[in-house]
Structure 1
C-alpha cells in the first residue's frame, strides 16, 4: 500500500512507516487520515473520528472490554527524519520510542485479531506532547466518554517493556516577590525583588522529597524550580521576580492536598497555581490488571512521570502504562527503538488477548 498503511507488515516495518509521516503536535492530520483509512478497511471494527483522534472498536459481546490507547503526535523533529534501520536491528528517528512503536503494535493487533478473548477499543489521539488544553484524549473524555468505556486500559507509552502502574500528579505554581524599582547607580533607593527570591531557592534546595510506597510500588516526588523571571534592564533594580516551581507528587495526594503542601513550603510568599493534573493510583489489585501483569511476565514499577492513565483513572477505568521503547530516549535527538522490542510487545499482548 504505497500511499497508505499496510497493516499486514511486521510491527517493526510499520513503525518505520509511521515515523516517516511527520506528526508534530497539532499537525497530526496526515497520519490520522492514514490510520483512519487503514482501520476502516478492517471488517471487524467500527471506526469513529473526532478531529485528529481515531477510535476503533470490536463488538463481540465479550464479558470484558480492554482499551489500548496511544498518541499520534511527536515533539518537533530534531534532524532525525526519515527513519533509519541500522545493522543491529535498531530503528532511529523522531517518535520511534515515544510512541510510534506502541501505535504500530496497536494497529497490528487491531487488524489481526478478529476474535480476541476480550472486546477491544483502540484509541489513537492527538496533541499529547503539548498543553493539556489541546490533548485529544481529554477532548474525547469530554465529548465522547462512551467511546472510551471499558474495564481496563493500557496506555502504550514507552516503558522498556515492563508494566508501569499509575502515574505521578503534577502541578506548577509561580512564587513571586515584589520590591521597589530604582536606578542601579542608586540601588539603596530601591528594593531588589530578585534578591528577595533567594529564600525561595534555599527552601527548594533544602526540601526533602517523599518516596511513597503504594501497592508495593515506590513513587519518588520532586519539587523543583523550572523558570525564573525578573529584571527590566541592565541598569534598573527590579521590582518583581517570579520563580516557577513544578511539583511532581505521589498519587496518594489529591491536587488540593499537593497544592497545600507547596503552600506550606513557601509560607510567607505569594503562590499562584498555574496548572495542575491529578496522579493515578496503580490499581494493580484489579483482576484485569493482575492478569495483564502476569501475562507480561516482568515485575511492575511505578510510573515516574505524568501520563494519560490519569484520564482513564478519572473515568473509573483501571489503567497501566506498557510499551516498547526506552522512556529515557523520548524527545531526544538520538531517539530509537529496537525492532525486537516492538515485536516482543506485540507478541505478549497477542498472547494475553488470545489465551
Structure 2
C-alpha cells in the first residue's frame, strides 16, 4: 500500500500555541520542507485578502491595500535534524518539540496574523522560506533575494527568530580567513635541519591575544566585535617537523563596516602574513530611526539590544530594508534535545505584533 500524499492541514483559526504544535508535528528538516511548505501554501491560499507566490519551498503572501508603508514578517520553515523530540508535547505552560523555539512558534505567529488581519494599518508581506539551518548556498531567502527581490520589498522587516521576546536590532557581520606560515620539513630527530611552521604561527596567536576588539554604538545599540582563532591546521606525523601551518580566524564585525573594510582590518592586524579570505557575510544596520521601526518599538515595548550574531536580517539590509529580530522562545534552547517554548511567550508575541499592526 503506497504512502499517503495528502497535504497536512493547518487550522489557522486556532491560537498560536496550537498552530505551533501543528507545525512542529510536520517534520521539516532542512531540504525536506516540502510537506510543510505545501501545508503553509494551502492555508494561505484559502485566505481571501492575500495574494500568494511560491519559489521552490519558499512561500510569500501579501496584502495590497495601498497603504503608505509595507512591513515584511519573515521566518524559516526548516529545523535541524530531529533528536527524538517529536511529536510535540504540551506540559503545563511549555510546548516541547523540535523547532518549537527555532522557529516554528515565530512562524505560527506569522500565520495567525496573515489569516486574521484583513485590514491592517500597513500593507504586509509574509515570507516563509526553506534551508536556513544549512549552508548559505541553499538558503531560501537568499534565493528569493536573487530571483524575486520585488517580493521582499518593504519599508521595514521583522525576522521572527527567537529573541526571548526582546527586540534585537540589525546583526553583526562575519568573516573567516586563513593566515598561513611555511617552513621546511625534516625528521624531528634532526630538527635543526628543518624550519617549524607551527612554531612560526606563535606570533599570530600573540597578535590575537593582544587585539582589543571595538565596541560600536549605532542607533543607541552597542555591537561588540570579536577576532578569534577558531581552527589550527598543521603537522604530518609525530616525528616530522611541519613545513606548513594555517590559523583560521573568525572576525565578528560591527555593521558599520562593509565586508571589504572588515577584511582590510584583519589584513592590518596580520600585516606581513598571507591572509586568505574563506567566507564572509555582511552585517545589518538596525535602522531604528526609521519611522516604521520607531512605531514598532513603541508598540512592542522594552529596550532593544544589538544582535550579537549573524542572522538573515542582513539579507533584508542588503536590499535596503531596515530589519530587526523579534520572536518568542529562548535562543539558547535552539537545536537542543530539550527544545521548548513558553506558551505565554508565543501568545504575547502575537498580541504585541497584532497591536502594532492594527493600532
For this structure pair, what is the TM-score category when the shorter chain's length is used for normalisation?
A: over 0.9
| Contact 2:8–2:35 under 8 Å retained in 1 | no
| Contact 2:7–2:39 under 8 Å retained in 1 | no
| Aligned match of 2:81 | 76
1:183 aligns with 2:201: no
CA RMSD, aligned part only?
1.6
| Aligned match of 2:310 | 306
Pair 73,61 (structure 1): closer, same or farther in 2 beyond 3 Å: same
Q: Which residue, out of 48, 51, 56, partners 2:56?
A: 51
Task: Tell me how far apart the structure 1 counterparts of residues 198 and 79 of structure 2 sit (CA, whole Å).
Answer: 36
Bigger drift between 230-239 and 39-48 goes to 230-239
Cα deviation code 1:183-210 (max 9, x no counterpart): 3333332222222222222222222211
Q: Which residue, out of 161, 167, 188, partners 1:163?
A: 167
Q: Which residue, out of 276, 280, 303, partners 2:280?
A: 276
The alignment covers a number of residue pairs equal to 354
Cα distance, 1:305 vs structure 2: 0.9
Pair 24,234 (structure 1): closer, same or farther in 2 beyond 3 Å: farther
Q: Which residue, out of 98, 103, 121, partners 2:102?
A: 98
List gaps (5 residues or longer) in structure 1.
none
Task: Tell me how far apart the structure 1 counterparts of residues 71 and 314 of structure 2 sit (CA, whole Å).
Answer: 16
| Aligned match of 1:63 | 68
Q: Which residue, out of 242, 261, 279, partners 2:246?
A: 242
1:3 aligns with 2:29: no
Task: Tell me how far apart the structure 2 counterparts of residues 199 and 20 of structure 1 sit (CA, whole Å).
Answer: 52
Task: Tell me how far apart the structure 1 counterparts of residues 239 and 89 of structure 2 sit (CA, whole Å).
Answer: 52
| Aligned match of 1:322 | 326
- Matched residue SS, 1:193: coil
| Aligned match of 1:216 | 220
Cα distance, 1:252 vs structure 2: 1.2
| Contact 2:7–2:38 under 8 Å retained in 1 | no
Cα distance, 1:2 vs structure 2: 9.2
Cα distance, 1:79 vs structure 2: 2.9
Pair 351,79 (structure 1): closer, same or farther in 2 beyond 3 Å: same
| Aligned match of 2:289 | 285
- Matched residue SS, 2:280: strand
List gaps (5 residues or longer) in structure 2.
1-5
Cα deviation code 1:212-253 (max 9, x no counterpart): 111111111111111222222333222222111111001111
1:21-40 matches, within 5 Å, as 21-40=26-45
| Aligned match of 2:234 | 230
Task: Tell me how far apart the structure 2 counterparts of residues 289 and 208 of structure 1 sit (CA, whole Å).
Answer: 32
Q: Which residue, out of 193, 198, 201, partners 1:197?
A: 201
Task: Tell me how far apart the structure 2 counterparts of residues 240 and 331 of structure 1 sit (CA, whole Å).
Answer: 36
Moved over 4 A (4+): none
TM-score (norm 2): 0.95
Cα deviation code 1:20-39 (max 9, x no counterpart): 22222222222111111111
